[in-house]
Structure 1
Amino acid sequence: MDLPAYFISDAHLGIEPPGAVPNREKKLIELLSSWKGKASHVVVIGDLFEFWYEYNYYIASAHFDLYRAFAELVESGVEVHLLQGNHDFAYGDFFPKKLGVQVHKSVILEIQGKRIFVTHGDGVPKSDCGYRFLRKVLDFPLNRFLFKQIHPDWGMGLARFVGRNSRKYGESRKVKIEEYLEWGDRMLKKEHCDFCIHGHHHISGIWNMPNGVVASPGEFIKKPTILSLENGGLKLVSL
């Protein structure tokens, strides 16, 4: 029998918004540790951190225990994948080289005989044209170089300030879930996949579509949920 695979999204570690589960990073570490040698894959579908940026000689020390949990998962034989989110798209080589965690913008995985397309899902709604432009500006090589010249403490502080304000704006917007489902169904057909799994909108669900199944683990902030894949079937698990 195949070992289960697990999918997590949108933990936004590094902030404590109102209503967040107390000590949620510790709870996430305990969850990851419980899967050592007991899962085939662990896939984190973006926005693991509220903000992530890699400097040449600096890594955020506050998450040291989390890094160790990922490394121990990999050492136990679990294949671990980390997707870039809209808050943590600026990964370098720390996760793959030091922890053995594979980093992607999007990826297709073959698990339990199922072909699975995985991506964070930011920029999907047509109304997100402003965000798509901003993302290109932020991810432009020159702008990333200039940001790297800022002292890490100042850079992290600035990014979290911007993130808090964008969060307030984002929480006031209504999610058009049908846009994500239509997009997911198109991706299923385009990539010849059985499942399309994404995050970003923080809504957990499994939806049967004409071309396959679209699913989202939800979030790991206020009401943590994850997706598990067992015997070729997806199910939501509330924690």
Structure 2
Amino acid sequence: MSLPAYFISDVHLGVNPPGALPGREKKLIQFLEFIRGKASHLVLVGDLFEFWYEYRDYVNRNHFELFFALRELVRSGCEVHVMQGNHDFAYGDFFPKTLGVQVHRSLVLEIQGKRVFFHHGDGVAKSDRGYRIMRRILDLPLNRWLFRQIHPDRGMAIARFVGRNSRKLGESREININEYLDWGTSVLKRRNCDICVHGHHHIAGIWNVKNGVVASPGEWIWKPAVLRMEEGGLILDTL
């Protein structure tokens, strides 16, 4: 029997809004240590961090214990992947080169005889049209270079300020789950997959659709949950 695979989304490390679970980074590290040697795959399905940007000689020291835990998980034989989210899309080569963790915008994996498609889910809903335009602008090489000229401490402060304000706007936005299910159904057919896993809307669930299954691990800010894949099926575990 193959080892289980685990999927987690929207941890948003680096921000603690009112009511957030205290010590959730420590809880995540404990989970990574628990599955060491007991998991075939771990996929972090976007927005692991509230903000991530890599400078040439700078790495955020607030997350060193997490980095060590991820590296040890990889060394145990677990295949670890991180999806780019809308908050943490500016990865460089630190994760793949130093930790052995692969970074993707979208990904298809063969797990337990199933083809599983992964994507954070940002830009899927019609209401994300403005975000899609902004993402292209922020991701331009010139704009990345300009941001790199800012001192890391100052850059992080700017990012936290922007993140707090965008979060307030997002809290009032109504989520149409059917938009995500329609997109997932289309992806399953287009990519010839059995399962589509995404995050972004923070709603945990497993939905049977026409071409297979669409699932979301939920979030780790208020109610941490993990999507576990075992013997080709999905189980939603709350922690």
- TM, length-normalised to structure 1: 0.99
Q: Distance in 1 between matches of 2:75 and 2:215?
A: 29
Partner of 1:113: 113
Partner of 1:139: 139
**Secondary structure of residue in 2 paired with 1:52:** coil
* Pairing 1:1-239 to 2, within 5 Å after superposition: 1-239=1-239
Question: Cα distance, 1:176 vs. partner?
Answer: 0.7
- Residue type at the aligned position of 2:90: A
- Residue type at the aligned position of 2:99: L
**Secondary structure of residue in 2 paired with 1:11:** coil
Question: Cα distance, 1:225 vs. partner?
Answer: 0.7
**Secondary structure of residue in 2 paired with 1:220:** coil
Q: Distance in 2 between matches of 1:184 and 1:61?
A: 36
- Give structure 2 stretches of 5+ with no counterpart: none
Q: Distance in 2 between matches of 1:189 and 1:31?
A: 33
- Residue type at the aligned position of 1:128: D
Question: Cα distance, 1:137 vs. partner?
Answer: 0.8
Deviation string 1:71-127 (CA, Å, 9 cap, x unpaired) is 000010000000000000000000000000011000000000000000100000112
- Residue type at the aligned position of 1:113: G
- Residue type at the aligned position of 1:34: F
Q: Distance in 2 between matches of 1:62 and 1:127?
A: 33
Question: Cα distance, 1:128 vs. partner?
Answer: 1.3
Query: Cα RMSD over matched residues?
Result: 0.4
Deviation string 1:161-200 (CA, Å, 9 cap, x unpaired) is 0000000000110111100000000000000000000000
Q: Distance in 1 between matches of 2:44 and 2:128?
A: 23
Identity %: 68
- Residue type at the aligned position of 1:142: L
Q: Distance in 1 between matches of 2:105 and 2:127?
A: 21
Q: Distance in 2 between matches of 1:126 and 1:50?
A: 23
**Secondary structure of residue in 1 paired with 2:36:** coil
Question: Cα distance, 1:226 vs. partner?
Answer: 1.0
Q: Distance in 2 between matches of 1:4 and 1:208?
A: 21
- Residue type at the aligned position of 1:167: R
- Residue type at the aligned position of 1:127: S
Q: Distance in 2 between matches of 1:13 and 1:128?
A: 23
Q: Distance in 2 between matches of 1:26 and 1:126?
A: 36
Q: Distance in 1 between matches of 2:125 and 2:221?
A: 23
- Residue type at the aligned position of 1:2: S
**Secondary structure of residue in 2 paired with 1:213:** strand
- Residue type at the aligned position of 2:75: E
Structure 1 runs of 4+ aligned residues shifted over 4 Å read none
- Residue type at the aligned position of 2:236: L
- TM, length-normalised to structure 2: 0.99
- Residue type at the aligned position of 1:226: V
Deviation string 1:117-144 (CA, Å, 9 cap, x unpaired) is 0010000011211111110111111000
